[in-house]
């Protein structure tokens, strides 16, 4: 008996990182639906975070209304997850549209929309409680 292959919906996959948070976005043609971790974007509770994540959608304009974007975010804190999701949405819109004007608009608005933040937490060293902090030495 032959197994029937299931049709998977394909789209453009994009990944973005911020601190310990990793966001993966899938963009497909659609009606302008944006979901982050299976939750609609307009249901995000802190208004500041919601506005922060929707910035690339407002900069993109009409292109964002023609596509559905699904974002999955893992790791990190709430604000770094929001920043990673925001970056993934912007990268997905640029990859979908292949428009150099949109890419330049994102770079002019905020460079962190398209460029990942490479900063990471420095590891702890011996003889100290943190990465740089050391025990105070007494001279006498």
What's the token pair of residue 120?
Answer: 């990471």
Answer whether residue 46 shows pLDDT above 90: no
CA angle, corner 38, sides to 35 and 39, nearest 5? 65
The CATH code of the domain at 12-111 is 3.30.230.10
Q: How far is CA 93 from CA 15, 52, 76, 120, 134, in A?
A: 12, 16, 24, 26, 46
Interval 8-31 mean pLDDT: 90
| pLDDT bracket for residue 14 (50, 70, 90) | very high
pLDDT at 90: 94
For the chain, the average pLDDT equals 89
pLDDT of 54-109, one tens digit each? 999 999 988 889 999 999 999 999 999 999 999 999 999 999 999 899 999 999 99
d(CA 65, CA 96): 13
Q: What are the domain boundaries of the chain?
A: 12-111
Q: Which carries the bigger pLDDT value, residue 58 or residue 10?
A: 58
CA angle, corner 77, sides to 90 and 56, nearest 5? 15
């Amino acid at each position: 008996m032959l197994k029937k292959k299931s049709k998977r919906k394909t789209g453009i996959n994009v990944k973005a990182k911020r601190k310990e948070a990793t966001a993966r976005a899938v963009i497909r043609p659609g009606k302008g639906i944006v979901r982050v971790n299976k939750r609609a974007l307009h249901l995000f509770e802190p208004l500041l975070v919601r506005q922060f994540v929707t910035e690339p959608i407002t900069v993109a304009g009409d292109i964002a209304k023609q596509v559905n974007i699904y974002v999955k975010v893992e790791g990190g804190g709430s604000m770094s997850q929001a920043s990673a999701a925001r970056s993934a949405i912007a990268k997905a819109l640029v990859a979908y549209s292949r428009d150099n004007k949109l890419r330049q608009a994102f770079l002019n608005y905020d460079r962190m929309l398209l460029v990942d933040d490479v900063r990471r937490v420095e590891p702890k060293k011996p003889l100290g409680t943190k990465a740089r902090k050391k025990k105070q030495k007494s001279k006498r």
